[in-house]
Amino acid sequence: MPPGSFIIDNTHLDATRVVQRRCNDSVDFFKYWNDYKNGFGNVSGNHWLGNDNLHILTRARTYVIRFELQDFADNTAYAEYQSFQVANEASNYKVTFSGYTGTAGNAFSDNYGMEFTSRENERDNDLHSYHCGKGRQGAWWFNACGKSSLNGPYKASSISDVKVIHWYTWRRYKALKATEMKLKTLE
């Protein structure tokens, strides 16, 4: 197993699980397909749990995904989606979900049914041949670059740029201070 990879313990699936965390610039998220496949970082800090692990978790049970966001004024907001699932690697980790509740706005809705885009694998449905993973400098389920990007470059201030961690329906393209993606089982 590659260094930094995470192993999922299927005996404790009922707990809320943090699958992504950004809180500073200590981990570069402008990574390749295999990095996102296996996961990277440290679960107590900045990390991505891994697309294989997201698939293993979400095929076993029904989950809610919760995106928790914090701006540089320490305001917080969230977005939740029901029945969150990530397909296997053969399907390029296609994402599906239903419903929206929250205070951050529905920025993830455009990503429904999208395949995962990484630094070198473009699957973003952009109509102008723009590679969203390279252009936004982060991997994500982009749909023509879309309204959310939580794996973009970390900036230490609330600058406005598409090359930042952002959630358009809450703070437009202003850089966010911290994000977490959490899975919680419905069963």
Q: Which residue range forms the structural domain that includes residue 158?
A: 16-185
| pLDDT per residue rounded down to tens, the chain (187 residues) | 444 455 555 544 457 899 999 999 999 999 999 999 999 999 999 999 999 999 999 999 999 999 999 999 999 999 999 999 999 999 999 999 999 999 999 999 999 999 999 999 887 666 566 778 888 899 999 998 889 999 999 999 988 998 999 999 999 999 999 999 999 998 6
Q: What is the DSSP letter of 186?
A: -
Does 169 map to a domain? yes
Q: What is the DSSP letter of 90?
A: G
Cα–Cα distance, 19 to 16 (Å, whole number): 9
- CATH number for position 103: 3.90.215.10
Does 133 map to a domain? yes
Specify the number of domains making up the chain: 1
Task: Answer positive or negative: Cα dihedral of 56, 61, 62, 64.
Answer: negative
Cα–Cα distance, 158 to 71 (Å, whole number): 7
> pTM higher than 0.85, yes or no?
yes
Opening angle at CA 98, ends 75 and 79, nearest 5? 5
Does 47 map to a domain? yes
Q: What token pair was written down for 116? A: 């995962």
Q: How far, rounded to the nearest angstrom, does the alpha carbon of residue 17 sit from its chain's CA centroid?
A: 13
